[in-house]
Amino acid sequence: MSEKPWDGRFAERTDTSVEAFTSSIQIDKRLYPYDIEGSVAHCRMLAKVGVITEDESAALVEGLWRIQRELDQGHFQFDDSLEDIHMHIEARLLQEVGKVARKLHTARSRNDQVALDTRMFLRDATGRIIEGLRALRGVLVALADRHLDVILPGYTHLQRAQPVLLAHHWMAYYEMFTRDAERFGDSLKRTNVMPLGAAALAGTTYPIDRHYTAELLHFPAVAANSMDAVADRDFILEFLAAASICMVHFSRLSEELVIWSSSEFRFIELADAFSTGSSIMPQKKNPDIPELIRGKTGRVFGDLMALLTLMKSLPLAYNRDMQEDKPPLFDAVDTLQGCLDITIKMLPTIKVKPDVMRQSASVGFLNATDLADYLVGRGVPFRNAHSIAGRCVAHALAQGKELHHLTLQELQNFSKVIEADLFDHLTLEHMINRRQSYGGTATENVRAAIAAAGKRLAEE
Ligand code: ARG
């Protein structure tokens, strides 16, 4: 048991059960590099404005770096009675540099200190996630480039709808993950605001220079209101919301990989190195990675819900409830980073089966819309054309045939405007390449989208 910074006011020692209950050290110890960097900047600022001397600052800074090395090497002793990382480092500093350590906490509170550490942690984590997303987007663009001639059925309601290029499908995910990266970039702007100097909640009587601290810590902005600076966690909520949306995209991609690798679809095969087997059924090869990503999505949603619920109705300013912000934050960062890393490695190893995809796209009347469009091209209003094509489909179904297997005579029974050139219109390549509307699946469009994405990634 250690002496407490609040000893003066208290007649009794803290009960050990209280120390165990209130301690967060096992969670927040990972903030230590930020806590030390923040304290170093705080010391330098205090010296600059003359609250402590340059010598005192130098001694404190030197001691803080020594503690950083100790923590880096894993030699540091943690103890529940010291509650959190902030008190651990301050207590160790007292042992390292003596009583000058008692000046470190001048013009500062743990309330603004933890807000600072969390913001520094999150801006690094967000930067890494944006980098990871850039790599993932690069993988998707490379896959699209590789699969520019692979045609598969596009689905609505999970029913075969119209043929699309596999490249177009990959590029759809490129778009989703690009928006995710933008969302993280946007939340980063509001995370990157320096709260230190708010002190407990009201600011401080010392002549501190918060803009100097911000400069030392590479923050482009300083929190404008001391109460908001210690009470606000909406920067974490924004991150968790962006992470949740990003996980929705991971989950949808994963779901498709699971479906596509099933015996019913057989569109792809996952590499052995990225699959698992069964302990009982020797034939099994299971898509556990995409399944787990799908499952982990729920964790991240839970992290967002946990923090929303935690923050709801808290009165200003700091409340101890807020210590519970870190488990969901760390969990979401780690989960998302893990999903990113494994997906980046797994996607390029997927074996695509173009013949199976093509065969699926050829069966099930995916060219019915194109029959209608053909009729429209010969002056039939679209609604009538839709009805004629529908009757052709019903006829073909009854014959057990596809539209393109009907004879010209059979088709002409439904419309006199049909001629032999229709059959060209109903081939997969024609269907794909006529969809030249901006954003459509025509090969030219997709090639242009790939080129634009490649250029954008190179510039980011
Ligand atoms: N461990 C605390 C947290 O994570 C640090 C701030 C404590 N402040 C206080 N007034 N008890 O929120």
DSSP letter string, 199-253 = TTTT--SS---HHHHHHHTT-SEE-S-HHHHHH--HHHHHHHHHHHHHHHHHHHH
- Report the separation in Å between the CA atom of 336 and the middle of ligand 1, taken as the mean of its atom positions: 26
Say how far apart CA 140 and CA 142 lie, in whole Å: 5
pLDDT of amino acid 280: 81
For the chain, percent of residues with pLDDT exceeding 70: 100
Say how far apart CA 48 and CA 44 lie, in whole Å: 6
pLDDT of amino acid 4: 83
Strand partners, 286: 276
Active-site residue identified among 2, 23, 105, 157? 157
- Report the separation in Å between the CA atom of 432 and the middle of ligand 1, taken as the mean of its atom positions: 59
Class assignment of domain 363-459?
mainly alpha
Mean pLDDT of the chain: 96
Domain ranges of the chain: 7-106, 117-195+224-359, 363-459
Q: Each residue of 359-385: pLDDT tens digit?
A: 999 999 999 999 999 999 999 999 999
**Is-cis flag, bond preceding 317, omega within 30?**
yes
- Report the separation in Å between the CA atom of 107 and the middle of ligand 1, taken as the mean of its atom positions: 16
Whether 404 sits among the annotated catalytic residues: the reply is no
H helix intervals, 324-418: 326-346, 354-362, 368-377, 382-399, 408-412
And the tokens for 196? 């230190």
Choose one of 320, 321, 322 to mutate for the ligand 1 pocket test, by most ligand atoms within 8 angstroms of C-beta.
320
- Ligand 1 pocket, residue 110 CB under 6 Å: yes
Is the domain defined by 117-195+224-359 classed in CATH 1.20.200.10?
yes
Choose one of 31, 89, 114 to mutate for the ligand 1 pocket test, by most ligand atoms within 8 angstroms of C-beta.
114
Run of H or E including 159: strand 159-165
CA-nearest of 144, 136, 148, 147 to 179 is 136
Whether 386 sits among the annotated catalytic residues: the reply is no
At 55, which amino acid appears?
Answer: D
Cα–Cα distances in angstroms (integers) from residue 300 to residues 7, 245, 347, in the given order: 40, 9, 22
Q: Each residue of 45-59: pLDDT tens digit?
A: 999 999 999 999 999
pLDDT of amino acid 278: 81
ipTM over 0.90: yes
- Ligand 1 pocket, residue 123 CB under 6 Å: no
pLDDT of amino acid 2: 64
Q: Each residue of 102-144: pLDDT tens digit?
A: 999 999 999 999 999 999 999 999 999 999 999 999 999 999 9
- Quote the pTM value: 0.95
- Count the neighbouring beta carbons within 10 Å of the beta carbon of residue 71: 20
Instruction: Tell me the pLDDT band of 309, cut-offs 50, 70 and 90.
Output: very high
Q: Each residue of 32-47: pLDDT tens digit?
A: 999 999 999 999 999 9
For 7-106, CATH gives 1.10.275.10
For the chain, percent of residues with pLDDT exceeding 90: 94
The whole-angstrom distance between residue 62's C-alpha and the CA centroid of its chain comes to 38
Q: Each residue of 340-356: pLDDT tens digit?
A: 999 999 999 999 999 99
Is the confidence at residue 1, as pLDDT, over 50? no
